[in-house]
A and B are shown apart, each in its own frame.
Chain A
Amino acid sequence: MPEVTSGGADVAPADVTPLVQIVSPTGERVVEPDNATYRSRVDHLTSEDLRALYRDMVLTRRFDDEATALQRQGELALYAQGRGQEAAQVGSAYALAPQDYVFPSYREHGVLHVRGVSPVDRLRLFRGVDHGGWDPAEHNVHLYTLVIGSHALHATGYAMGVQRDGLVGTGDPARDAAVVTYFGDGATSQGDVSEALVFAAVNNAPVVFFCQNNQWAISEPTSRQARVPIYRRGEGFGIPSVRVDGNDVLACYAVTAEALERAHHGGGPTFIEAYTYRMGAHTTSDDPTRYRERAEEEYWRQRDPIDRVAALLKAEGGWDEAWVAALDAEADTYGERLRTAVRELGAPPVESMLDHVYADPHAQVEAERAWLRDYELQTTNEEAVR
């Protein structure tokens, strides 16, 4: 298995660690005894399958570029860039069954793309018109959670519910269900993530903990979060754990497929560390030039996940110029539609500010709702008179 470092100045010896890889950074298949079981999970994929993965990664990156530009133009208040993490997100999401449930953090735009959450729905939060943006039940994807690591517990509890529903180990792939929760390297320092690992382990819950170690938690490198590789944290709780090349879409698919199979069959949780890189900033409010080196970013540019799939397709005869041109055109249309849709997102009505605080009427809210209505009416009347 290949070894890899972060390439940055802050490399701790513990970062030189074997990881699961099926396609090298230059697009060659890696064939060795250590990755045999993972290769067997992707050997059946055809060039058409690879082109589908490529397309989803390209559209994910296009979404990212469009959203970043929209923010710079003042159309979004904020945006959390996912550039560079397309393989980890698209690859893992491909392994999900429709009945599996996802608990993302706030950067998993590629996962949401694969699950079918529409591009404009994914940006309502960043536009400042919604704290969520989509209906979780439609695509089995929970809303973004901004309190770091908090949702790892929700995912574990949800998985405990799946167990109680009797939907683990039925042997029916259309019924067995599992949960995947995504979070970053920084999140693994939060107590809630440790507690989620405790509960998942002792309950043998069907939950996959997918940690995208993108090397940075805003301005702090992973060495500020851990002195051992992150995947060993899962091992510490008695959970099978694996480190995968987070820029290798086939490897990410394979390890997630294995983890989901384990969960579906009653084998309990898995911890996956996808070793990747946050090519962009933490969010559009962040300035990475203040804390990291160009050389490190260049090192990871050489390991771009999308270029890797392109190289693989070219090497295996699956690359077709006409198809690429069509994809470029599709991406352009996709971008234009997204820009138009985002610009049309307006503020919700003022009265909605007090909706959905509670299910049933709550005297305090109702009193304030009446006050707000009278106040708005009074203001309107005063303005009309002026």
Chain B
Amino acid sequence: MTTTTAPAVSTTSAVRTETLTFARAITEGLRAALEDDDHVMLMGEDIGRLGGVFRVTDGLQKDFGEDRVVDTPLAESGILGTAIGLALRGYRPVCEIQFDGFVFPAYDQITTQLAKLRYRSRGRLEVPVVVRIPYGGGIGAVEHHSESPEALFAHTAGLRVVSPSTPQDAYDMIRAAVASADPVLYFEPKGRYWSKGEVTLGGPVDAAGLDGARVARAGTDVTIVAYGPTVATALRAADALAAEGTSAEVVDLRTVSPIDVPTVVASVRRTGRCVVVHEAPSFLGAGAEVAARVTEECFHSLEAPVLRVAGFHAPYPVAKLEHEYLPSVDRVLDAVDRALAY
């Protein structure tokens, strides 16, 4: 039994606008997905009765039942592997990995199976599984609770890797991820769970919701590329730059696989300078790919090399030091200054 894209129209909820936290926007997106298609199901540790350690699935088991919002055994590989089996039977599982640092037991199933089943079967098998992963730091946590492993997955063909930066995108992109026929790793910036924003809910799923970077702020002097938790950092840096007379354009990539190179390139052709900001380590991170592509495609437009502001090549540090590790507004300003000095 195979299915393709889920029905486009959400028949049960009218379009409305509310102010929601980032986390709650995901909850409502999951609710809409569960309402739209009775083959959608959620699975993960503590997502049912507890509603998830971040309460993202709060209330959903009560409303949709234990067969559709499933508390799983404590076994990430088992969660992913059984989700693959459920998907092969025609279901659309949305897995929750409790924290970024605990995704690794599932890494084998994600990279050797989930990513490859369509290719292996020459398109006959479909595994529309979504894997939700809270990621990123800034919450004062112990080891393994603040990581950014997205590049480790984006490097594997067959997976889509996305990360919303606003509550609206969180809502739209989780619905689009569930509707996608491809496996999607949906990285949720946990440091932003409690940020609030206007969210328009209801209506049909935007089929293009998983595609395309977004210009979060228009500018002329430098392009700051970011995704997930660092979009807010980039916007604060842009505010600081504006006060100094520098106009920064902020591009929210929204997706790490694929990367919307044309949108970045169009921006850098105008500004001539590019700074990429992400929490993941600089070495072999997503910023390296952006830098390579921008250099290849806008070489003659560049006034300065592409610079990256990112984490260090060390395991994520202790909580008392994490603010020295994470890309700060100051470090972004420093990189922009260096780019402008060329």
Interface residues of A (CB under 8 A from B): 130-132, 135-137, 142-143, 145, 147, 150, 152-162, 164-165, 191-192, 195-196, 198-199, 202, 355-360, 362-365, 367
Contact = CB atoms under 8 A, between A and B. Distances in A.
Contacts of B121: 131-132, 136, 143, 356
Interface string B79-117: 011111111111100000000000001001100110010
Contacts, number: 142
A364 B82 CA distance: 29
B73 interface: yes
A132 B83 contact: no
A357 B85 contact: no
B24 interface: no
Contact of B86 (A160, A196, A365): A160
26 contacts: A132-B122, A147-B112, A150-B112, A150-B113, A154-B85, A161-B85, A161-B86, A195-B73, A196-B78, A196-B82, A198-B78, A202-B73, A355-B123, A356-B118, A356-B119, A356-B121, A357-B118, A358-B118, A358-B158, A358-B160, A359-B4, A359-B126, A359-B182, A360-B181, A362-B160, A363-B260
B16 interface: no
A360 B78 contact: no
Contacts of B89: 157-158, 160-162, 165
A359 to B, nearest CB: 4
B108 A150 contact: yes
Contacts of B109: 150, 153, 192
Contacts of B81: 150, 152-154, 156-157, 192, 195-196
B124 A136 contact: yes
Contacts of B90: 161
Nearest to A137: B124
Interface string B47-89: 0000000000000000000010000110101101111111111
A195 B119 CA distance: 26
Given A132-B121, A153-B78, A155-B85, 18 more contacts: A132-B122, A143-B120, A143-B121, A153-B81, A156-B81, A157-B84, A158-B89, A159-B85, A160-B85, A161-B85, A161-B86, A195-B73, A195-B77, A196-B78, A196-B82, A198-B73, A199-B78, A356-B119
Interface residues of B, number: 50
A150 B72 CA distance: 18
Interface hub of A136, A137, A161, A191 (most chain B Cβ within 10 A) = A161
Contact of A158 (B86, B112, B158, B258): B86
Contacts of B126: 359
B108 A156 contact: no
A202 B75 CA distance: 13
A364 B85 contact: no
Closest 9 CB pairs of A and B: A157-B85, A153-B81, A161-B89, A157-B82, A195-B78, A359-B181, A363-B258, A158-B85, A154-B85
B266 interface: no
B74 to A, nearest CB: 9
A165 to B, nearest CB: 7
Nearest to A364: B258
Contacts of A147: 108, 112-113
A157 B105 CA distance: 17
Contact of A153 (B82, B91, B122, B261): B82
A133 to B, nearest CB: 9
A120 B80 CA distance: 32
A195 B158 CA distance: 25
Given A199-B73, A355-B123, A359-B181, A157 B258 contact: no
Contact of B85 (A153, A165, A191): A153
B160 to A, nearest CB: 7
Nearest to B76: A195
B125 interface: yes
A157 B88 contact: yes
B73 A356 contact: no
Nearest to B68: A164
A328 to B, nearest CB: 36
B218 interface: no
B75 A195 contact: yes
Contacts of A198: 73, 75, 78
Contacts of B280: none
Contacts of A132: 120-122, 124
Nearest to A103: B85
A164 B181 CA distance: 21
Contacts of A195: 73, 75, 77-78, 81
